[in-house]
Amino acid sequence: MFDLGWTELLLIGIVALIVVGPKDLPGMFRAVGNFVGKAKGMAREFSRAMNDAADQSGVGDIQKTFKSAANPMKTAMDEVRKTTDSVTRDLNDVTKPTLSPEQQASAEKGRAATAEMAEARKAAKAEAEVAPDKVAPKPKAAAKPKAAPKGKTSKPEDEA
């Protein structure tokens, strides 16, 4: 298309100012703008009509066929990816066991406790950010760890 830079546009404007005159220049630019706008609109409508005709005639399918013929590895890999995705999805659906109502209630309790601990941790972190000179205490865990059996002491294996 046309390649007009700022210098060319400035030269056209100066020549138009000299030839047309300052009094009629805004009207001329308005007329030129309307003409360019109508030309762009007609070009856009023509392009849209050609694309619609091409879509109706099946050119898009032919284009896909040519692209797949030009790059068979990509087409093959796309098919492999689709197949593995469907197999993975099917396997995940099959391997998920259904939970009994007691197990479901226990899982919900565990999720709720985890969510509460996460909220407490976020609150403590936000408090520590607000007052960095104060050290916020860590939130206490909901369940206590099990104690080691009596009589047995743990010894480090690698003592030097």
Q: What is the mean pLDDT of the chain?
A: 80
Note the pLDDT tens digit of each residue in 38-57: 999 999 999 999 888 888 88
What pTM does this model have? 0.34
Position with higher pLDDT, 104 vs 38: 38
Least confident of 53-57, 65-69, 123-127: 65-69
**Mean pLDDT across 55-74:** 78
- Residue 117 is predicted with a pLDDT of 94
**Mean pLDDT across 65-82:** 80
Identify the band that residue 160 occupies on the pLDDT scale cut at 50, 70 and 90. Answer: very low
Position with higher pLDDT, 1 vs 111: 111
Q: CA-CA distances (angstroms) from residue 39 to 2, 32, 34, 79?
A: 14, 10, 9, 45
CA distance 42 to 47: 9
Statement: residue 126 has pLDDT above 80: yes
Position with higher pLDDT, 61 vs 14: 14
